[in-house]
């Protein structure tokens, strides 16, 4: 058997040898030579461990085991056999090996169950991952670097791998693939396999074996891009990861350690970008900071937990919240075939989404309070008070609508809650940052008739940005607006509202306090896009704009 002019009839590894021939006669001659040499050197070749595999079986004749002999013993013919731990077969060789590797890795996982590989009652995901990389991954990928794998082969490996990652992180199957890898900072199975294949190429290039060198030089110089050659496949990987071509490395072979380092860096960079691209524009990941995620770095979620059952279970809940897969009432109402309310079952105030669950729900306030206070101290200690503080991060008004109106030369009175002096200070800071010195700032609380509200001068327009987010405040807002309108009946209340529940309505409140409302089509001033002025803040939320005013009297 030759590749070009290079003889490859008896590749040998340690005490294993494979005899490769183009014809039955040639194979029998090689068996005779092997048997003669064994007799001369006084060792025995076990006939039952020797098997003949026909890669291209004859189409018309049935070949039996009696066609070949090793000395006086017949050599059996088999459709599959194992050589150096790799299954060799007449056909579908790659698929058979993929299935065998996955089966072996599954058995290894089961054998590690006793160490804590069983969900939230076991080890933290970081420890599970170390055990997986040490014991399971080598068995999953063993020998596969020698094959030319198709995409469906890689998909089978990835399916097994990502199912394991989701299980140890308590993530459902619908979680985004990219975030599943990046939370633990691990490479996909495909990337791990590519590292092994490129390292194998480096070994071949540095090898002093003349036969390997001849085959390498021949293949990279004669095979086209459409060839099924392993070297052609590897050349495509080198292009994919922006590494030097095999032809260049043959001329100037890289040293072992430098090559391994460059391969890992190139593959980690490529797959970090690819996984982040998979995560972008996913609505479930809107609250996940993607900028801190990369291969090789474990997310703080997992690196900060202790090795105990309580922390592991907490970590699982946090992971589902970060990935947007924690099932809340708003999710249940969207995907349930029956009519289910999206309102929070604990406080009954507004729709239970992730923001409400973590920050707003009154029923959870006593559990949240200690952590919020601690977080406030931390943020204020690391923030520049002139640019960022806890109050500016958590709901304090920055007066953007009023600032814009003042920039348009309107006479503006800025207002925020009188109960939070820091909010009013934020308004002042916003004015100062925008060089606006002649603006009045008044503290007003919805529904309370304070001296500040009673002494407020008449206005033409009241601007309210997303005021209607907590149903318990709806009437207080309407009452305050109605009182201001009494001073000047032509006053209008311009407000925007993010739709959080289709079951909410303020129609009865408008009727009760003598107001009427009309909706303004956002398209009329080009505000119907998910991206406004370069900002993606609107996103996929449903935003409405309304103009409210005093209802005209119908008395004759």
pLDDT of residue 397 exceeding 50: no
- The reported pLDDT for the residue numbered 98 is 95
User: Which of 89, 104, 136 delimits the end of a domain?
Assistant: 89
Structure-block tokens of residue 468: 């209607």
Asked whether 471 and 463 are in contact (CB, 8 A), the reply is no
pLDDT over threshold 60, residue 371: yes
pLDDT digits (tens, 9 = 90+) for 138-148: 999 999 999 99
Assess whether 61 and 148 both reside in one domain. Answer: no
Q: How confident is the model at residue 391 (pLDDT cuts 50, 70, 90)?
A: very low
Is the pLDDT score of 393 beyond 60? no
Give yes or no for a contact between 128 and 92, defined as CB atoms under 8 angstroms apart. Answer: no
pLDDT average, residue stretch 89-108: 93
What is the residue whose two structure tokens read 């105990």?
A: 308
Helix (H, G, I), strand (E, B) or coil at 463: strand
- The answer, yes or no, to whether residue 411 has pLDDT greater than 50, is yes
- Rounded distance, CA 444 to CA 414, Å? 10
Q: How high is the pLDDT of residue 143?
A: 93
Q: Which of 434, 435, 429 is nearest to 416 (CA)?
A: 429
Helix (H, G, I), strand (E, B) or coil at 14: coil
Least confident of 309-318, 321-330, 423-432, 508-517: 423-432
According to DSSP, the β-strands at 543-550 and 51-53 are: unpaired
Domain closes at, from 67, 89, 111:
89
Using the structure block, give the residue that is written with the tokens 């449903």: 542
- The predicted structure's pLDDT at residue 396: 35
Of 51, 160, 53, nearest to 103 (Cα)? Answer: 160
Q: 555 in a domain, yes or no?
A: no
Strand, coil or helix: 250: helix
Overall pTM > 0.85: no
Structure confidence at residue 287 (pLDDT): 83
Each residue's pLDDT tens digit, 417-440: 777 677 787 788 888 888 888 788
Verify that 309 and 454 share a domain, yes or no.
no
Same domain, 543 and 400: yes
- Residues 119 and 244 placed together within one structural domain of the fold: yes
Last residue of a domain, one of 59, 89, 119: 89
Q: Residue 121 pLDDT > 70, yes or no?
A: yes
Are residue 343 and residue 302 in the same domain, yes or no? no
Element housing 404 (H / E): helix 400-407
Pair 321, 342 in one domain: no
Percent of the chain with pLDDT over 70: 90
Q: Are residues 429 and 489 in the same domain?
A: yes
Give the total number of structural domains in the chain.
4
Q: Which residue has the higher pLDDT, 553 or 240?
A: 240
pLDDT per residue as tens digits for the range 171-216: 999 999 999 999 999 999 999 999 999 999 999 999 888 888 888 8
What does 200-229 look like in DSSP terms, one character per residue?
HHHHHHH---HHHHHHHHHHHHH--TT---
Average pLDDT over residues 210-230: 85
CATH number of 433's domain = 3.40.50.150
409 and 359 in one domain? Answer: no
> Is 204 within the bounds of a domain?
yes
- The confidence score (pLDDT) of residue 296 equals 93
Instruction: Indicate whether 375 and 397 sit together in one domain.
Output: no
Does residue 252 fall inside a structural domain? yes
- Per mean pLDDT, which range of 238-247, 372-381, 486-495 is the poorest? 372-381
Q: What is the mean pLDDT of residues 365-373?
A: 78
- For residues 291 and 416, membership in a common domain is answered with no
Inter-CA distances, 29 with 35, 69, 380, Å = 10, 10, 84
| Tens of pLDDT, residues 64-93 | 545 788 888 888 888 888 888 899 988 889
Tell me, yes or no, whether 502 and 546 share the same domain.
Answer: yes
Note whether 343 and 329 are within 8 A (CB).
yes
**Cα(108)–Cα(151) distance, rounded to whole angstroms?**
25
Name the residue among 451, 460, 464 with its Cα closest to residue 402. 464
* 155 within domain boundaries: yes
The domain in which residue 66 lies consists of 2-89
Rounded distance between C-alpha atoms, residue 169 and residue 133, angstroms? 16
Return the structure tokens found at 242. 């922006």
Assigned domain for 556 exists: no
> What is the rounded distance in angstroms from the CA atom of residue 166 to the CA atom of residue 207?
40
Compare 462 and 522 and report the one with higher pLDDT: 462
pLDDT at 97 over 80: yes
On whether residue 533 sits in a domain, the answer given is no
Domain assignment of residue 105, yes or no? yes
- Using alpha carbons only, give the angle 402, 406, 409 rounded to the nearest 5 degrees: 150
My answer on whether 316 and 355 are in the same domain is: no
Looking at the predicted structure, is the pLDDT value of residue 165 above 90? yes
- Residue 468 is assigned to a structural domain of this protein: yes
- Kindly report the average pLDDT of the chain as a whole number: 84
Return the structure tokens found at 346: 């604990």
């Amino acid at each position: 058997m030759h590749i070009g002019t290079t003889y490859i009839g008896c590749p040998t590894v340690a005490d294993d040898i494979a005899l490769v021939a183009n014809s039955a006669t040639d194979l029998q001659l090689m068996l005779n030579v092997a048997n003669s040499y064994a007799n001369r050197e006084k060792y025995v070749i076990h006939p039952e461990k020797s098997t003949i595999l026909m890669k291209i079986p004859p189409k018309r004749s049935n070949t039996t085991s009696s066609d070949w002999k090793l000395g006086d013993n017949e050599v059996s013919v088999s459709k599959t056999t194992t050589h150096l731990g790799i299954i060799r077969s007449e056909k579908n060789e790659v698929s058979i090996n993929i299935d065998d590797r996955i089966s072996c890795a599954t058995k290894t996982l089961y054998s590690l169950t006793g160490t804590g590989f069983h969900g939230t009652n076991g080890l933290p995901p970081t420890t599970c991952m170390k055990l997986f990389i040490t014991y399971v991954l080598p068995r999953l990928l063993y020998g596969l670097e020698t094959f030319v794998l198709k995409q469906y082969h890689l998909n089978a490996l990835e399916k097994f791998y990502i199912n394991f990652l989701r299980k140890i992180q308590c993530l459902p199957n619908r979680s985004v693939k990219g975030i599943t890898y990046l939370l633990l900072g691990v490479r996909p199975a495909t990337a791990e396999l590519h590292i092994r294949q490129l390292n194998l190429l480096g070994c071949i290039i540095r090898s002093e074996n003349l036969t390997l060198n001849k085959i390498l030089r021949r293949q990279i110089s004669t095979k086209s891009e459409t060839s099924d050659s392993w070297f052609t496949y590897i050349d495509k990987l080198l292009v994919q990861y922006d590494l030097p071509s095999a032809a260049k490395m043959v001329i100037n072979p890289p040293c072992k350690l430098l090559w391994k380092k460059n391969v890992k860096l190139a593959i980690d960079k490529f797959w970090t970008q690819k996984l982040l691209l998979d995560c972008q524009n996913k609505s479930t990941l809107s609250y996940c900071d993607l900028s801190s995620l990369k291969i090789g770095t474990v997310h703080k979620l997992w690196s900060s937990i202790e090795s105990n059952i309580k922390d592991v279970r907490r970590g699982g809940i946090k992971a589902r919240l970060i990935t947007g897969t924690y099932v809340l009432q708003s999710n249940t109402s969207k995907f349930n075939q029956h009519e289910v309310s999206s309102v929070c079952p604990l406080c009954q105030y507004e729709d239970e989404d992730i923001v409400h669950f973590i920050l707003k729900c009154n029923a959870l306030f006593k559990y949240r309070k200690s952590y919020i206070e601690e977080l406030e101290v931390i943020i204020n200690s690391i923030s520049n008070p002139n640019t960022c503080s806890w109050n500016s991060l958590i709901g304090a008004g920055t007066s953007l609508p009023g600032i814009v109106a003042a920039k348009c030369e309107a006479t503006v009175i800025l207002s925020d809650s009188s109960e939070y002096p820091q909010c009013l200070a934020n308004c002042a800071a916003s004015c100062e940052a925008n060089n606006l010195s002649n603006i009045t700032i008044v503290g007003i609380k919805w529904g309370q008739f304070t001296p500040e509200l009673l002494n407020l001068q008449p206005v033409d327009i009241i601007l309210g940005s997303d005021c209607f987010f907590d149903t318990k405040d709806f009437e207080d807002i309407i009452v305050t607006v109605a009182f201001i309108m009494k001073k000047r009946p032509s006053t209008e209340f311009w407000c925007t509202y993010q739709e959080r529940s289709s079951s909410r309505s303020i129609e009865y409140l408008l009727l009760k306090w003598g107001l009427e409302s009309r909706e303004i089509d956002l398209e009329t001033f080009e505000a119907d896009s998910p991206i406004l002025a370069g900002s993606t803040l609107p996103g996929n939320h449903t935003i409405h704009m309304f103009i409210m005013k005093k209802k005209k009297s119908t008395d004759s």
